[in-house]
């Protein structure tokens, strides 16, 4: 029987210059979680609990607005990503809806000023998520045994990060999937969900509910870290199950990578230790385009959905697996 708990780590020791033994213990928990299934939770993560509560409250108020009000905030033409209000899948009225935000300094970060103060609260959430992301990135850097600040210098452009506030409508009699099984394409994802829950992680072959705990943020490793570490750390497989009778609200922050970056297994996990690379090199924006196409032109067969295995190299003949 597997251990069903998702580990929770107190990050206060990293914010307050805690003792080295406490940091070492926290890193050991994170390293194990990331090497086995890619998920853990954090408390004392630097994001004020009052801000989190206020952001959730205003998000629920926004999604309760009439549709004619919400569609005023649809993505603007020419934006690199569809920042603003939208639905998934497109034109759906019973699955989920979202508000996607780019970095506050972006010229495309168009957000509503209604409810009052909403934009300011979301920008504050975005900035706090970014700060926490840098701390977690540094922890992962140490857990992987990389040179100091290696990941920070590799991924030094924060203009590509994204934040999404999302509402999942209640389950219907015939369908309860909010987001189907998948892995994230970016570096690290942070999730703040309300009390309804619904997030599940695939752990040791079982779907484990990530039970909401006030003030806790869920962290999952994504594809870029899996490739850089040559699969030492796993990109977390997860999904969202919708509840009957209740909408679910959540925030997701995607600690991302600049599109022109080349991604491949680092020599620290290949040639330095005599291991063959498990992935071929690729340009990140090319992978992003393939992932977006999964949504805009969904394949008829599940096995044709593009994920990071698109770049996998066969261990037997050193050929790329498609």
What is the tens place of the pLDDT at every residue in 79-121?
667 788 988 765 555 689 999 998 987 755 556 677 788 989 9
Q: What is the DSSP string of 74-128?
A: PPPTT-SS--EEEEESTT-SSSEEEEEE--TTSTT-----TTTTHHHHHHHHHHH
> Does any domain span residue 301?
no
pLDDT tens track for 253-264: 999 999 999 999
Q: Provide the 3-class DSSP secondary structure of residue 252.
A: strand
Assigned domain for 3 exists: no
Q: What is the pLDDT of residue 298?
A: 81
Q: Is residue 292 part of a domain?
A: no
Tally the domains of the chain.
Answer: 1
Which run of H or of E encompasses 287?
helix 284-296
For residue 51, the model assigns a pLDDT of 98
SS3 of residue 271 by DSSP: helix
Closest CA to 289 of 161, 153, 177, 185: 185
Nearest to 235 by CA among 152, 308, 155, 294: 308
| Residue 206 clears pLDDT 70, i.e. is over it | yes
Model pLDDT, residue 305: 85
Cα 136 from Cα 212, distance rounded (Å): 20
pLDDT at 297 over 50: yes
Provide the total of helices (H) and of strands (E) in the chain, helices listed first.
8, 14
- How high is the pLDDT of residue 158? 93
Question: Does the residue 287 lie in any domain?
Answer: no
Distance CA 320, CA 151 (A): 26
Percent of the chain with pLDDT strictly greater than 90: 74
Task: For 121-144, write each residue's pLDDT tens digit.
Answer: 999 999 999 999 999 999 999 999
- Under the banding of pLDDT at 50, 70 and 90, the label for residue 316 is low
Residue with tokens 């977390």, as numbered in its chain: 236
Task: Report how far residue 238's alpha carbon sits from residue 184's, in angstroms, rounded to the nearest whole number.
Answer: 9
pLDDT of residue 81: 73
Spatial separation of the C-alpha atoms in residues 313 and 318, rounded to whole Å: 6
How many C-beta atoms lie closer than 10 Å to residue 4's C-beta? 10
Look at residue 297 and tell me if it is in a domain.
Answer: no
Task: Give the pLDDT band (50/70/90) at residue 78.
Answer: low
Instruction: Please report, for the domain that includes residue 18, its CATH number.
Output: 2.60.120.330
Mean pLDDT of the chain: 90
pLDDT greater at residue 294 or residue 193:
193
What is the band of 3 on the pLDDT scale with cuts at 50, 70, 90?
Answer: low
Q: Is 303 among the domain residues?
A: no
CA distance 130 to 256: 10
Residue 75, pLDDT above cutoff 50: yes
Average pLDDT of the segment spanning 173-195: 94
**How confident is residue 1, by pLDDT bands cut at 50, 70 and 90?**
very low
Domain contains 63? yes
Closest by CA position to 257, among listed 292, 284, 235, 228: 284
Quick check: is 283 in a domain?
Answer: no
- Give me the domain span that covers residue 80: 8-260
Label residue 82 exposed, middle or buried (CB < 10 Å: 0-12, 13-18, 19+).
middle
Q: Could you tell me what percent of the chain has a pLDDT over 70?
A: 91
Specify the pLDDT at position 159. 92
């Amino acid at each position: 029987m597997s251990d069903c708990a998702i580990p929770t780590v107190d990050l206060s020791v990293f914010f307050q210059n805690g003792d080295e033994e406490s940091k070492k213990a926290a890193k050991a928990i994170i390293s194990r979680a990331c090497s086995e299934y890619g998920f853990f939770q954090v408390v004392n993560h630097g994001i004020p609990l009052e801000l989190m509560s206020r952001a959730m409250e205003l998000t629920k108020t926004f999604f309760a607005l009439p549709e004619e009000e919400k569609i005023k905030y649809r993505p603007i033409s020419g934006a690199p990503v569809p920042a603003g209000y939208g639905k998934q899948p497109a034109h759906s009225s019973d699955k989920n809806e979202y508000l996607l935000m780019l970095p506050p300094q972006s010229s495309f970060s168009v957000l509503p000023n209604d409810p009052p103060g909403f934009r300011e609260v979301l920008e504050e959430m975005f900035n706090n998520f970014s700060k926490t992301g840098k701390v977690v990135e540094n922890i992962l850097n140490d857990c992987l045994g990389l040179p100091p600040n290696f990941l920070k210098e590799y991924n030094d452009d924060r203009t590509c990060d994204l934040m999404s506030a999302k509402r999942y409508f209640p389950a219907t009699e015939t369908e309860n999937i909010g987001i189907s099984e998948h892995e994230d394409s970016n570096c690290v994802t942070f999730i703040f969900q309300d009390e309804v829950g619904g997030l599940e992680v695939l752990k040791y072959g079982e779907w484990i509910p990530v039970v909401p705990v006030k003030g806790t943020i869920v962290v999952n490793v994504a594809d870029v870290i899996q490739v850089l570490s040559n699969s030492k750390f796993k990109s977390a497989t997860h999904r969202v199950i919708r509840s009957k009778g209740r909408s679910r609200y959540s925030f997701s922050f995607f600690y991302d990578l600049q599109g022109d970056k080349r991604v491949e297994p680092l020599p620290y996990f290949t040639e330095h230790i005599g291991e063959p690379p498990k992935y071929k090199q690729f340009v990140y924006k090319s992978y992003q385009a393939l992932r977006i196409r999964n949504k805009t032109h969904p394949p008829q067969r599940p096995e044709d959905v593009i994920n990071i295995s698109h770049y996998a190299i066969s261990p037997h003949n050193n050929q790329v697996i498609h």
